[in-house]
Structure 1
Amino acid sequence: MCGVIGFNWKDELLLNQMCKAIKHRGPDGKGIYLDDKVSLGHNRLDILDKSGTDKQPMSDENNAIVLTYNGRVYNFPQIREELIAKGYKFKSRSDAEVILHAYEEYGTDCVQHFNGMWAFCIYDKTKNMLFLSRDRFGIKPLYYYFDGERFIFSSEIKAILEHDVPRKENRGVIFDYLYFNLTDHSEETFFKDIKRLMPSHNMIFDLSDRKLKISRYYDITKNTVESANDPGKIKDLFTDAVNRALVSDVAMGSCLSGGIDSSSIVVTMRNIDPDVQIKTFSMKFPGEAMDESLYQRAVYEKVNSVNYGVTPQPSELIEDLHELFMTQEEPFSGTSVYGQYRIMKLANETGIKVLMDGQGADQVLSGSSYFNGYYYYEMLKQFDVAQLFREASQYYSKSKSLIPLVYLGLRMTPGELKRYLYNHQKAPYLSRRFLEENADREDMRRHISSLQEAAYSSILFYAL
């Protein structure tokens, strides 16, 4: 990962402070750009083209546009060839330069050509504007603050807080977190007036009149594929995705939980390159019911990978809390975040900069108890009680859990009754004033009525 930062006036000292605040995102180098209108910064993590020819912020040959970028555009070789055919010259092998020239050719529609993950800002001097974009599924973060005069953006909130901006809690978002167990579900953050650019969105900031315009460039509900249920097609797309992600000038590893998600990635990595060394990283809980070491071993022995394991202890969690909170910046909903944190830390200690990961498969393939509730509900609507009974019985025989039936019950519960149950369960821990203050806020999931809608919603907000 890299770090991108900037604001709409000139201040080198403040820009360097922001870069320092998120130096961990890019320890391999720092670059800044300043003129009378903007200050832009970049912290670099070397992944592609380590020759130094693609330092950022990066300008075009006419110094008319400037880019600061975090991410990977996996299809950049193909786009590069298309742009060369149109007459563009390249001085590096990086995807950053491809983004720069793609913007020259296609304008803000350049993002329609990208397959990857990104958060970037392009300073267009000719149009006197900043163009910011975030990838379709929000893999890369991008936050901003705008008070009508000052526009500040960054890969992380902590860099924005280097400015003299109000540090005030967002009580509505806190309510959503405590009451509905929602996070990252809207442009609002836990910090009032600091927002996130949502996935699939572009932003244009006019430097002349200080106007902000946000637009959506991609909607997953309008991009369905007819052959999506074809296992062969899914396998081909999956293999292609892993293959594209393996393009790197540094060693890569993979998380390995023992589940279908990460196991599929690791096996596919080996199928693509039979000789490359693969390092895998796993959580292990010896003697505990949740331990998946048996499944992990089956995979890493099959692909002949070097496996590294970590078993977090309660005392270590206490020691790591401050750094974990500073890394996450906002509250999170479970201890799995700490597990991921320890895995990433372990990978870094072994010299791995890039990890493949299996995040999002439950959402894409509707594989968790939450989705089973909607699946059961659809069978119930079709009066297919026999099939519903078979599915629920099979699930229980394997997991000894009735959670999908609980989700089915919640799906069938009227909104007013559900609110009453929420109040009864959570009101003892929340003040009456706080509940009344946020009485008009609602769970964004309450309007979901089908398995397909649940999958779309989950992919958009939680998959990545």
Structure 2
Amino acid sequence: MCGIAGIISQNINKDKVKEIDDLLSHRGPDDKGFLFLLHNNNIIKTKNLDNFDNSKLALIHRRLSIIDLTESGWQPMSDQTNSFFIVFNGEIYNYLELKKELETKGYTFFSKSDTEVLLKCYIEYKENCLNKLIGMFAFAILDIKNNELFLARDFFGIKPLYYIYKPNLFSFSSEIRPLLTLLNKKKINKQQLYEYLANNLTDYHYNTLIKDINQLESGSFLKVNFTDLNNIKIIKQKYYTPKIEELKDITFQEAKNKIRELFFKNIELHLRSDVPIGTCLSGGIDSSSIVSTIKYLYPNVELHTFSFVVDNFELSEEKYIDIVVKEKNLIGHKVRVKDEELISDIDDLIISQEIPFGSTSIYAQYRVFKLIKENNIKVVLDGQGADEILAGYDGYSYLYILELIKKNKLFQAFNFAYNLSKNPTKKNMFKLALKLIKRKLLFFLYLKNNKNNKNNLNLIPPYLNKEYFKNISFDYLNYFIHHRNDNIYDLVRSELKNTLFITSLPNLLRYEDRNSMRFSIESRVPFLTPEFTEFILSLPINYIISSNGVTKYIFREALKGITPDKILERKDKIGFTPPEKRWLFHMKNYITNLLQTSNLPFFNYSYIKEHYIKNLENLDTLDFTLWRIINTIKWIELFNLQID
């Protein structure tokens, strides 16, 4: 895991290179390196900016040493002919297998790093190398002969990659802040701002909340030709779309065995490292299954786990954490966060995340990674992505009811909802199903396409200024209903894909990347490989959600005998759930002052004053909307952003 950046321009400013390097230092505190391509096509590779000369291209690398800790793994790395150069952020877990394959083709290697394997894999296969990879990655490869820079991002967007593109400037970075240094005006993207404030939707689009800063979407690559520095050209292409086709003939037992086999393979690959590895542990099924599988495969390994707990909180998962730690003989570490602590870290948290986020659960994760850093662990495994492929959220069960109704399987829908209602956390699902059966409604939250802009204004939440957002596009709402158009008989599968790539996982992966890298920690997510994901999404839905309403059903069955039964039998869904209302209550003076002194044109302050400021004493009225308002105000202030 590292930080990477680059600039292509007629005149590259040395001070800008240094500033970008400094802003990425937390991503790679172990080492740094620079490459400069001069106007005469000579190349300088250096660790010292004093060697900087007038150049047309610069590559910047900050190193967090994980695999091959020697100087041989230093970047920017070149092949033996000095024709290709790479800066790479991430891990290629199957690098040993790829190395053997390349050796049969005559390639030799001077290092033990996955970076060199990736570089030579690209030299051999060009962009076709991407689908050979198992890993998380964002990288740039310079092809000197063709005046071309090739950039790519992994299948799910685990690792970030942002860029600025103008005819006379191309720049990329692992984070947004380095690119802000290259903008004359740091303006907010009004459309993206609205989507965040109204629906907490970020990270899914190539546009970001900052005008002129784009992100390379997951499963995509970019080719940049800089033959003419006044007319830089780019080509963007999608290289990965999940192959999902229902496996109708596979038995439950066959599918269960295959899931266990693939999950074991993923865990083994994700444990490849030259430094010690720990795990995050929430006490839920996903993280508990990761640590349990590690101990099953390697019983004698000394494994550190890191958990967030809250005292006197009804949703605390501490008892489940303790069950796993005790049964698996783990070295457990816990961080206990006091209600008043968020306020002292809020600025650093917002700066680290770079763009606004949905709730204070991000702070819980931030504190876990801080704890990991304090215990000198550089790599951890985490369960991100499991809910999106194994239907871990309540909404999937809701859609399953709708799917059964649409297929006229009313008895099954009734029975499923009734069984679901026995779970105290889902007791309203039965009433909901009865209502749907009675009406036979499919489009339960469908927003009809209405071209009358006055009617569209009614969609704008009351805490926002309708006049300011009157020309906003509401096309993005299709992302919340698109699964009803793709295949109305396959709602759950479509929604799983939707949350994987649009409405859920992109946000979560950004949170995880920024929180982990804030403390120079590499966080790995073993649920997210194409093979594992595509297999699960191709299974019959009743394998994923049982007839009794049990989510992650086949995964629970596959991990029996490995993950503790008390964990696998859990029916609630908590995750990193903090006592948000308590935290906000302890910030009431801070919040009041912030809202009363704010004067942003897109908020309806009369509504905010009436519904939020006056009710800060009432915990029941506080919600995620208040956090988004606070977060946005502080974000604009801390980043000194301009508003149209």
Same fold (TM over 0.5): yes
Please give the secondary structure, in 2, of the residue aligned with 1:7. strand
Counterpart in 1 of 2:35?
33
Higher deviation after alignment, 119-128 or 441-450: 441-450
Report 1:237-386 matches (<5 A): 237-386=262-411
TM-aligned CA deviation for residue 257 of structure 1: 0.6
Report 1:415-454 matches (<5 A): 415-416=447-448, 427-443=461-477, 444-449=479-484, 450-454=491-495
- Greater RCO, CA 8 A, separation 6+: 2
| Matches of 1:355 and 1:35, distance apart in 2 | 36
Report 1:166-177 matches (<5 A): 166-177=185-196
Residue pair 2:162, 2:215 contacting (<8 A) in 1 also: yes
| Matches of 2:454 and 2:408, distance apart in 1 | 29
* Residue 94 of structure 1 pairs with residue 116 of structure 2: no
| Matches of 1:420 and 1:256, distance apart in 2 | 49
What is the CA deviation profile of residues 378-400 of structure 1, one whole-angstrom value per residue up to 9, with x for unaligned ones? 01112333322332233332234
TM-aligned CA deviation for residue 403 of structure 1: 6.5
Counterpart in 2 of 1:48?
67
| Matches of 2:338 and 2:456, distance apart in 1 | 33
Structure 1 residues 406 and 193, CA gap change in structure 2 (3 angstroms): farther
Counterpart in 1 of 2:2?
2
| Matches of 2:193 and 2:314, distance apart in 1 | 33
Residue pair 2:187, 2:210 contacting (<8 A) in 1 also: yes
TM-aligned CA deviation for residue 225 of structure 1: 6.6
2:236 pairs with 214, 221, 235, which one? 214
What is the CA deviation profile of residues 296-352 of structure 1, one whole-angstrom value per residue up to 9, with x for unaligned ones? 111111111111111222321111111101111011112221111111111011001
| Matches of 1:208 and 1:446, distance apart in 2 | 44
Please give the secondary structure, in 2, of the residue aligned with 1:437. coil
2:161 pairs with 106, 125, 142, which one? 142
Please give the secondary structure, in 2, of the residue aligned with 1:96. helix
Structure 1 residues 410 and 318, CA gap change in structure 2 (3 angstroms): farther
| Matches of 1:401 and 1:456, distance apart in 2 | 23
| Matches of 2:183 and 2:190, distance apart in 1 | 21
| Matches of 2:59 and 2:424, distance apart in 1 | 52
Counterpart in 1 of 2:572?
none
| Matches of 1:386 and 1:155, distance apart in 2 | 51
CA RMSD of aligned residues (A): 2.3
| Matches of 2:245 and 2:23, distance apart in 1 | 38
Structure 1 residues 346 and 223, CA gap change in structure 2 (3 angstroms): farther
What is the CA deviation profile of residues 222-252 of structure 1, one whole-angstrom value per residue up to 9, with x for unaligned ones? 5777759611111111111011000111111
TM-aligned CA deviation for residue 275 of structure 1: 1.2
Higher deviation after alignment, 374-383 or 198-207: 374-383
Percent identity, please. 35
| Matches of 1:411 and 1:309, distance apart in 2 | 44
| Matches of 1:41 and 1:380, distance apart in 2 | 55
| Matches of 1:274 and 1:398, distance apart in 2 | 35
Residue pair 2:267, 2:293 contacting (<8 A) in 1 also: yes
| Matches of 2:244 and 2:288, distance apart in 1 | 31
Counterpart amino acid of 2:30? D
Higher deviation after alignment, 377-386 or 290-299: 377-386
Report 1:403-418 matches (<5 A): 411-416=443-448
Please give the secondary structure, in 1, of the residue aligned with 2:462. helix
Residue pair 1:221, 1:456 contacting (<8 A) in 2 also: no
Higher deviation after alignment, 365-374 or 119-128: 365-374
Structure 1 residues 441 and 175, CA gap change in structure 2 (3 angstroms): farther
| Matches of 2:182 and 2:373, distance apart in 1 | 30
TM-aligned CA deviation for residue 147 of structure 1: 2.0
| Matches of 2:34 and 2:92, distance apart in 1 | 22
| Matches of 1:121 and 1:353, distance apart in 2 | 24
* Residue 396 of structure 1 pairs with residue 398 of structure 2: no
Structure 1 residues 329 and 243, CA gap change in structure 2 (3 angstroms): same
Aligned length: 464
Structure 1 residues 346 and 214, CA gap change in structure 2 (3 angstroms): same
TM-aligned CA deviation for residue 99 of structure 1: 0.8
Report 1:104-123 matches (<5 A): 104-123=123-142
The TM-score normalised by the length of structure 2 is: 0.69
Residue pair 1:121, 1:130 contacting (<8 A) in 2 also: yes
Residue pair 1:12, 1:39 contacting (<8 A) in 2 also: no
| Matches of 1:28 and 1:413, distance apart in 2 | 50
Please give the secondary structure, in 1, of the residue aligned with 2:448. helix
* Residue 195 of structure 1 pairs with residue 214 of structure 2: yes
Please give the secondary structure, in 1, of the residue aligned with 2:467. helix
Residue pair 1:66, 1:124 contacting (<8 A) in 2 also: yes
TM-aligned CA deviation for residue 221 of structure 1: 4.1
| Runs of at least 5 residues in structure 2 that lack an aligned partner in the other structure | 39-55, 485-490, 510-644
Structure 1 residues 264 and 400, CA gap change in structure 2 (3 angstroms): closer
Counterpart amino acid of 2:31? G
| Matches of 1:60 and 1:425, distance apart in 2 | 55
| Matches of 2:442 and 2:355, distance apart in 1 | 28
Counterpart amino acid of 1:45? L
Counterpart in 1 of 2:21?
19
Larger CA Rg, structure 1 vs 2: 2
| Runs of at least 5 residues in structure 1 that lack an aligned partner in the other structure | none
Residue pair 2:281, 2:307 contacting (<8 A) in 1 also: yes
